[in-house]
Structure 1
Amino acid sequence: MKTIENLFEITSKFKCHVEISTLKSYGTGHINDTYRLKNLVTEDYDYLLQKINHQVFKNVPKLIENMCRVIAHLKKQMLSTGEGNPDKEVMTLVATKEGPYFYQDSNGNYWRMCHFLKDTKTYDVVETAQQAYEGGKAFGKFQAMLVDLSPDLMYEVIPDFHHIGKRLEQLAQARTEDPKGRVALVQEELETIDASSGSMSFFQQDEQLLTLPRRVIHYDTKFNNVLLNLEDRAQCVIDLDTVMAGYVAYDFGDAIRTIINRTTEDDKELSNITLNIPLFNAYTKGYMEEVRQFINEWELRSLIKGVLLLPYMQAVRFLTDYINGDRYYKIESEHHNLQRTRAQLKLLKELFAHAESMEDRIFKEARKHQLINS
């Protein structure tokens, strides 16, 4: 952790009144470093200070520009409809004293600050159908409120983020270079990934490129990116680093990846990785209630493809990082990324086995809202 003196210098660049002695590490994110600080004005918002990983996010000013555009749009939507509280239901970034919403320190590190929303909570593992339902509503509403924001305005902060062809190319390069001599340890995992590579190209097929609309989406819909209030009702979608243009099925698939698994995404005991279908049903119900106002039939039929793609892609990414020497994700042990890879592949196996019944549930919910006839 940075020294208190260094962090005091950083916080002093923002328009805030912080009690620096209260600073402590916060959250379980894989990429950025996050700290919570109390506000000296006790009746006002506390703050979250984040060091943005500029090895992952190469153009931080553009990332912040994306975030500001999305935040402004969401707040404008809430104000125009009179539904909701923009200050509590949308992230609020804190400007620096010089104007921008980020600060670059003398070491080249980028920092940002936002309001901390009190009386909220997150879950790394979904515990109830009510929570899953609220997650579906939260991410569905997020997509619905951004449907009239042009995707062409969004900067691509991570090029080809969900392009599985590019991810497989990165894995192939890692296999060839093998910088840490780990390829020999992961032959079984590589064979499993190779066996499914052909079926995972759905979103890069010409037909889909012509028919599926690009929309502004979140791109990181882990359940812990939804803040729930103390009654377990969805309040705010957070972690907007990756908001970009993409397909709604990407967000749906990644949400299901984290919601349906009965255990954590890195459980060492693979037998613990089974599907909690009631949570899938609840999430799908909440999601359909919100997206029914805009989603089309092509998108509906693509949702199950997203459910299968995202754990596969995550396995590819974890394994690539493992072979490369753990450059991207934070790890807690030497073989943590391999452990994550194996867990994602086990989850994928379970999802393949239940894909037909899950697609039936998607269509059942869609028919309730007259979104599909068959």
Structure 2
Amino acid sequence: MQSSKNIDEVVSHFKCDADVSSYKPYGSGHINDTFFLKNVSFGGSDYLLQRINHRIFTNVERLTENMRRVTEHLKSKMKEYGNGDPLKEVMTLIPTDSGQFFYKDSVGDYWRMFYFLSDTKSYDVVETEKQAYEGGKAFGKFQAMLSDIPAGEMFEVIPDFHNIQKRLQHLDEAVANNAGGRVASVGAELEIVAKYASSMQYFQQPEQVATLPKRVIHNDTKFNNVLLNSNDEAQCVIDLETVMDGYVAYDFGDAIRTIVNTTTEDEVDLSKIQLNLSLFNAYVQGYLKEASRFLTDAEVNSLMKGALLLPYMQAVRFLTDHINGDKYFKIKFEGHNLQRAKAQFQLVKILDANAAAMQETILKEMNSLQHSAY
């Protein structure tokens, strides 16, 4: 918990009317620390204050410029087409007294502030087809509105973020170093890694590199990064710090990873991990309703590859962090990262068994949308 003196120092440098005494932790993110603050002005918007993990996001200035550019682009698109409310449907960064959109405090921590979007909610576990459909619409619309930003113009916040070859290399290094003394206890998990390693390198194959366009994508589309309104309708996509170039299938895959799983991403009872295919179908319908207008055939054909890759990659990342001694992700107990890895590997197995049928669902929905357009 931050001291009130530290929070007071930070808040004083943002152009806001925040009540410092009201601050309290907010959300369940793995990386950054987020706090909610009330507005002292009656009827004014409340705030979210976020301490940026600069050990992971090492270039806060360039990261912030990405976020500023993306949020301004989204708001401009909404105004241009009359398609939404920019103040409610896009995160708004609050400037500091120096005009920047981040502040470095006296102990070297970096902070940013947003307006809090009231009367919204997020879900760690999807409960209804409507929620899945709305999540699909939200991420599809997000990608569509950013699809005219040329590749190569965004700062690469985390190099090779979704490059599975690099993730496997990091795992190999972790195993070799064995910093946490845990390698001997994860033999079964390392066997699963090896079993799927070759097939998971689809996006590094020369043919795919040549045909799949790089686009500006979210790169962290777990379902709780969509805010829904009181009617469970999508309102805003949040957590924009990893927005940079990538393949659309990465976003599709991470969303599916957190939507179709019938339990949490760290479920200890692996028998509870099953696929909710009705939620998958609903997400696909919502996503393609928005994204079909810009997707190429090659991208549509790659979507299920992303759905297989992302839980596998997340499992590799959790396993790597476990072996390294839990240096990256926040954990709630010793062995938490290993438990997460086991759950994600189980999800990979089930997705692999159903991948052909799920891809057929995607193609049928895409075909239906294309025919209805004529």
The question of a shared fold, defined as TM-score above 0.5 by the shorter chain, is answered with yes
CA offset at residue 113 of structure 1? 0.2
CA offset at residue 298 of structure 1? 0.2
2:24 corresponds to = 24
CA offset at residue 20 of structure 1? 1.2
How far apart in 1 are the matches of 2:75 and 2:44? 19
CA offset at residue 44 of structure 1? 1.4
Q: What is the letter of the counterpart of residue 317 of structure 1?
A: R
Contact 2:9-2:105 within 8 A present in 1 as well: no
Q: After superposition, where does 1:194-213 map in structure 2 within 5 Å? A: 194-213=194-213
How far apart in 2 are the matches of 1:115 and 1:332? 29
1:66-112 Cα deviation digits (max 9, x unpaired): 00010010000001111211000000000001110000011111000
Q: What is the letter of the counterpart of residue 323 of structure 1?
A: I
1:340 matches 2:335: no
1:71 corresponds to = 71
Q: After superposition, where does 1:1-374 map in structure 2 within 5 Å? A: 1-370=1-370
Q: What is the letter of the counterpart of residue 361 of structure 2?
A: R
1:175-225 Cα deviation digits (max 9, x unpaired): 000011100000000001111100011000101111000100000001000
How far apart in 2 are the matches of 1:220 and 1:354? 23
Aligned sequence identity (%): 60
Contact 2:14-2:96 within 8 A present in 1 as well: yes
SS of structure 2 residue aligned to 1:152 = coil
SS of structure 2 residue aligned to 1:94 = coil
Unaligned runs of 5+ in 1: none
CA offset at residue 151 of structure 1? 2.3
Q: What is the letter of the counterpart of residue 281 of structure 1?
A: N
How high is the TM-score relative to the length of structure 2?
0.99
Q: Runs in 1 of length 4+ with deviation above 2 angstroms?
A: none
CA offset at residue 149 of structure 1? 1.0
CA offset at residue 292 of structure 1? 1.4
1:298-356 Cα deviation digits (max 9, x unpaired): 00000010000000000000000000000000000010000000000000111011111
CA RMSD of aligned residues (A): 0.9
Q: What is the letter of the counterpart of residue 183 of structure 2?
A: V
Unaligned runs of 5+ in 2: none
1:46-73 Cα deviation digits (max 9, x unpaired): 0000000001101010000000010010
SS of structure 1 residue aligned to 2:22 = strand
